[in-house]
Amino acid sequence: MSGSRSKWLWLALGLSLACSGGVPAADEPPHFEVPAATGAGPLIFLGYGDTRFTHREEVANGPARRALVEKMARENPAAILIGGDLVYQGDTPDDYEVFKNETAEWAREKIPVFPALGNHEFKGCDAHDVTPCLENWWSTFPALSLRPYRWYSVTIGGTLLALILDSDSALKAGSPQRIWFEQQVTGAGAGIKFIMVVLHYPPVRDPIYPSAKDEREIARYFARHAATLHARVVVVGSHVHNYERYYRDGVIYLVSGGGGAKPVPAFRMFGELSRLHTSVNFHYIRFALDGDWLRGTMVRVDAAQGAGDPWSEPDRFEVKAKN
């Protein structure tokens, strides 16, 4: 049995269970485990956002979205993290069916998918009653058993703790999500070398795009506390339909919103580190967890490429564990 298959069988048995003894925690968002690689080499997992699975071709680039999905399947990743705007309109079950159909290869390969909520997951629902939209999201991922929660955590490879947040819920100090977030960060075990925060609205991004909710609270928190944590921190946002990379207060901040949604420009000022020269950047990020190192590669597809290879890897970065 291949490492990926044995990984999935283990994960499927315990996916909806809390880590503590395999017993669901009472009144706590769920926690999941993606085991370490069984063979030699790093553990590979992928991340991106703003996929906008839908039949509406005017709001997304379907060919680019499908090319990314196919390429990601060939990576045989241990997991895929999606930073929100999975679909275009959250009240429309048909959009979720497009997701299921286009990612059928992921399901056949039993690749665990861990989604965050974005603003489009709530599109079409009354602001006073988002239950129909949440029901569509929850029911799309039955193996996760997320209902009634909107945020949760995943341990990847035993040394990386991923906190999957909901940008549309409060993140200010004292809010339920913030309390849980701080408990997860400060309570991370000694074996955790990296903390990855995945949320839709990026806390650090080109300032031409204004804040949307409370996402900057995450950057403020790490500005005060990242230096004292035993784990290195990487924050991955989406929402801006492009790719950006920043370094602030010892934390890497990424914008990965190139999953298929209509592109928007990135001006690459104010300390943006990738300095890409391309304005349209459909992409995903390949993360390689390898001992004391977490390495990231931006994998880009040129949707307008005629002849030749449309794939490139124009940005790379790495993070070394503090120990």
pLDDT tens column, 57-110: 999 999 999 999 999 999 999 999 999 999 999 999 999 999 999 999 999 999
How do the domains of the chain map onto residue ranges?
3-320
What mean pLDDT comes out for the span 153-159?
A: 98
pLDDT tens column, 233-252: 999 999 999 999 999 999 99
**Would the pLDDT of 120 be above 80?**
yes
pLDDT on residue 294: 98
The domain defined by 3-320 carries CATH number 3.20.20.70: no
pLDDT on residue 207: 87
> Which pLDDT band holds residue 16 (cuts at 50, 70, 90)?
very low
**Would the pLDDT of 11 be above 90?**
no
**Could you write out the three-class secondary structure of the chain?**
CCHHHHHHHHHHHHCCCCCCCCCCCCCCCCEEEECCCCCCCCEEEEEECCCCECCCCCCECHHHHHHHHHHHHHCCCCCEEECCCCECCCCCHHHHHHHHHHCHHHHHCCCCEEECECHHHHCCCECCECHHHHHHHHHHCHHHCCCCCCCEEEEECCCEEEEECECCCCCCCCCHHHHHHHHHHHCCCCCCCEEEEECCCCCCCCCCCCCCCCCHHHHHHHHHHHHHCCCEEEEEECCCCCEEEEEECCEEEEEECCCCECCCCCCCCCCCCCCCCCCCCEEEEEEEEECCEEEEEEEEECCCCCCCCCEEEEEEEEEECCC
- The verdict on pTM exceeding 0.75 is yes
What mean pLDDT comes out for the span 184-195?
A: 97
**Would the pLDDT of 6 be above 50?**
no
pLDDT tens column, 251-284: 999 999 999 999 998 899 889 999 999 999 999 9
What mean pLDDT comes out for the span 109-113?
A: 97
> Which pLDDT band holds residue 24 (cuts at 50, 70, 90)?
very low
Q: Which residue has the higher pLDDT, 38 or 95?
A: 95
What mean pLDDT comes out for the span 154-170?
A: 97
pLDDT on residue 210: 82
Question: What rounded mean pLDDT belongs to the chain?
Answer: 91
